[in-house]
Amino acid sequence: MRSEIYGSAVVPVGEGQTVTYTLLCDEAGAAGVLGCEFYGVEVAMGGEKESRPRLTASKTSVGALLEKLVRGCVTPMGLGDVVDDWLTQ
């Protein structure tokens, strides 16, 4: 699995903490046959980290999700709820 930092935001609480948003990329293939890539996200802040791998095969869609996460300063604790909402849109 590959990963690529997408962006970061500072959570405006107390002194503020930096949240890092990462694009996850997993190539799926079977029996040596090259498959497509599946994308997911990871959110990290301090010692906390949550990830949701293999959400979609669309890099454009996962890019829109990452943009929403950055704009909303979503923390690892809130990632699951935001992803669940995004999946049901």
30 DSSP 8-state letter: B
Q: Are strands 48-56 and 2-11 parallel, antiparallel or unpaired?
A: unpaired
pLDDT at 45: 94
Q: Taking the CA of residue 69 as centre, how many other CA atoms within 13 Å lie in the half-sphere pointing to its CB?
A: 35
Tokens 């301090």 sit at which residue? Answer: 46
pLDDT at 55: 94
Instruction: Please determine, for residue 1, whether its predicted confidence score (pLDDT) is greater than 70.
Output: yes
Per residue in 7-62, pLDDT (tens digit) is: 999 987 767 789 999 999 988 755 555 567 899 999 999 899 999 999 999 999 99
E strands, 1-89, are 2-11, 17-27, 37-45, 48-56
Task: Return d(Cα 55, Cα 22) in angstroms, integer.
Answer: 13
pLDDT at 72: 93
pTM of the shown model: 0.87
